[in-house]
Structure 1
């Protein structure tokens, strides 16, 4: 029985693993962004400072340039519809950015991510860090009165480890390393999300 599904976005629902890097490539700022990434990895700045200086590379860029169309992984909308039609609460959580929530907003109950901030003219001015790590889902699960025994969690990276270790139905989707794979009950390696639909259907039919 599944009452809620917590789905990572970057790398699971999307083909790219980082909404930050994807936007840098689109806007041509990836070279400068690499300096920020190196500083963060070296421990010279913390996550929040990294997010701020990274977003500053897009200062004054129009919202229409930032909210670029993205290609969802094949099977994404089918999966979200299947969960919704079976009365499963869908929670999409991302360490990336809120533009990735645009194509799925009509299919999820909750979308949690870092938020790009715009001024009254629609120009980017900053970023609001909401997801420094995936521990944030613990708060939502508690607020909703959910039991982890009735939660399906799907992730691919180290950031997803907390929820993969807690959820009864934990799925590592194209995991980035062995630690992520070992934290889950099920491992899926696929270019589409159709295998995930089959697994969810099997769990719900119990």
Structure 2
């Protein structure tokens, strides 16, 4: 039985693996972002400091430039509708940024990500770090009265390992590493999300 599905956003529901990097490309701040990323990778700054430093590169940028339209992966809406129509609650979680939640907000029960903060004039001010890791998911589903035995988790990156390890039905979708692939019960490599619908149907006995 599946009562809740936890879906990573970047790399699963979207074609790009990082909302941060995607926005850097759009705004032309890639080169400066590489410096911040190197500082984080080498341990000079922690995740929260990296996020705040990265957001500084966009300070003063109009909201309309930042909340850019994104293309969901083919089959994303169909997958979300299928889960919802079969009574499965949906948690969309991302280590990325909240602009990726705009096209899916009407299909999910929860969307949790780092949040861009804007001034009264709708220019970017900073970022609120809500997702340094995904350990908080355990508290969330427990509060919903749901067990990991009734949970399906879908992810692609190392940040998704904790939920893939605990969920009864764990799916690595286009995994970035062998470790992610090895932890999941099912591995799917595809350009679309239609295979995930087929797998879910099989789990539900449809």
Same fold (TM over 0.5): yes
Shift of 1:126: 0.4
SS in 1 for 2:40: helix
Shift of 1:143: 1.1
Shift of 1:176: 0.4
The root-mean-square deviation of aligned C-alpha atoms, in Å, is 0.7
| Distance of 1:156 and 1:42 partners within structure 2 | 23
SS in 1 for 2:12: coil
Are positions 1:141 and 2:160 aligned together?
Answer: no
| Distance of 2:143 and 2:120 partners within structure 1 | 33
| Distance of 1:71 and 1:37 partners within structure 2 | 25
SS in 1 for 2:2: coil
SS in 1 for 2:5: strand
Shift of 1:79: 0.1
Shift of 1:89: 0.3
Partner of 2:32: 32
In the TM superposition, structure 1's runs of 4+ consecutive aligned residues that sit over 3 Å from their partners are: none
Partner of 2:109: 109
Are positions 1:62 and 2:62 aligned together?
Answer: yes
Shift of 1:205: 1.9
Shift of 1:203: 1.0
Q: In structure 2, list runs of 5 or more residues that go unmatched.
A: none
TM-score, normalising length from structure 1?
0.99
SS in 1 for 2:153: strand
How many residues end up aligned between the 2 structures? 206
Cα deviation digits, residues 129-166 of structure 1 (max 9, x gap): 00000112112111111100010000000000000000
